[in-house]
Amino acid sequence: MKELNKKENGLIKDLAFGYSIYTTFLIFSYLMGMVEMKLVNFLSLLTFIWAGNLLYYIIATTKINDKLNKPDMFIPLLVWSIFCIIFPTYFMTSTLRSIFLMNYFLVVIFGVFRLNLKQFVSLTIFAVLLLGFVLVFIVKNKPATQVDIYNELLLWGMFSLTAFSFAVICSNISTLRQKLKEQKLEILNAFSDIHKLSITDELTGIYNRRYIMDFIANKKLKADKGLDKFIACMIDIDHFKKINDTYGHDVGDIVLKKFSQEINNLIRHDDCFARVGGEEFILILSHIDIEIAKDVLERIMNKIRKIDFDGYPNLKITLSAGMSPYIKDMSIEDLLKNIDNLLYQAKNSGRNKYMI
């Protein structure tokens, strides 16, 4: 048997509870003499109704539903439930029939969260026609002394009018709920977009200073507990001001974008690369030692040296970096100050290199 989700499980529990009350009501009505049928026929009717419920449960909870390409079983369930309410009214007294038909509205209200106007109207037409057939057979087969045809017509008319009105109301509620659901999704998407904008550098598309600082703080918490280790790098594009002065700021923006994309493509999912200033970046390398981090940084530097910029064959860029492992209980300020000083040393000693 397959595992049901909460919605399906709740529906089946509601179904079992509802039909238990339904059965109790029928038995009580039979004992009160308001259901006009022999005992064996009455028991056959109850057996037939519960067999239909059991069939639904088997289809919904076994691989049969998968073999049927998982059809929506909700509407067939409503159709069956409507049938189980209207068909037995043939055997009831006129007074009980009027009361029993109110159960129809309890069934239809389950569709408020799932059905549209067309589906509500279709179910209503089915119920009205079915009740019409039942009343025709009552008038045709029962003695005239037991049937008041005008009362039965009035019952059918009032039921039809109420049922169609109820369908429209339920449809409006369903539509309103769907709109609220869509609005909620739009709000959630808007919050997601706002959050993404708040942690993303607008020009390069990589993370910004806000995100990298939170990332480092989380890394520090884990590292202080002995659950993680990481290497921090401060990276700067060499002679970036000269690039802006020579080629213009538009080309400078292209350089920043290309530089960021190339490095972002080289690092792992657990690493983090962010722009923290004009041409300054921070790279966090996770779960590695300093020797491996050196190899990673050298690969990045070699890749950056080979970048070609379309339309600018003479434009080449290099980077300088300061790199330091995080030491347990070190403050974030000290870590950043350390890699910033190392970057300064790398730039003062000729650029195109890194210091540890």
| Both structure tokens of 93 | 């007294």
Please give the pLDDT value at position 68: 46
**Mean pLDDT value of segment 122-133:** 94
Label residue 158 by pLDDT band (50, 70, 90): very high
Residue 148 amino acid letter: D
The pair phi, psi for residue 320, each rounded to 5°, is: -120, 150
Instruction: Give the H/E segment covering residue 62.
Output: none
Distance CA(343)–CA(20), nearest Å, equals 77
How much of the chain is in helix, strand and coil states, percent to nearest 5? 70, 10, 20
Catalytic residue flag (residue 279): yes
Say which of 152, 202, 279, 291 is annotated catalytic.
Answer: 279
**What are 199-258's pLDDT values in tens digits?**
999 999 999 999 999 999 999 999 999 999 999 999 999 999 999 999 999 999 999 999
**What are 259-272's pLDDT values in tens digits?**
999 999 999 999 99
Query: Is residue 67 predicted with pLDDT exceeding 90?
Result: no
Label residue 291 by pLDDT band (50, 70, 90): very high
Strand, coil or helix: 245: helix
**What are 40-58's pLDDT values in tens digits?**
999 999 999 888 888 877 7
**Which range, of 63-77, 93-107, 146-160, averages the lowest pLDDT?**
63-77
pTM value surpassing 0.75: no
Query: Is residue 2 predicted with pLDDT exceeding 50?
Result: no
Cα 133 to the chain's mean position, in Å? 44
Q: For the chain, what is the mean pLDDT?
A: 89
Domains of the chain: 6-192 (no CATH), 209-355 (3.30.70.270)
Please give the pLDDT value at position 75: 84
Label residue 65 by pLDDT band (50, 70, 90): low
Please give the pLDDT value at position 201: 94
**Mean pLDDT value of segment 179-208:** 91
More confident residue, 66 or 116: 116
Query: Looking at the DSSP assignment, which residues form a beta bridge with residue 236?
Result: 280, 320
Residue 298 amino acid letter: E
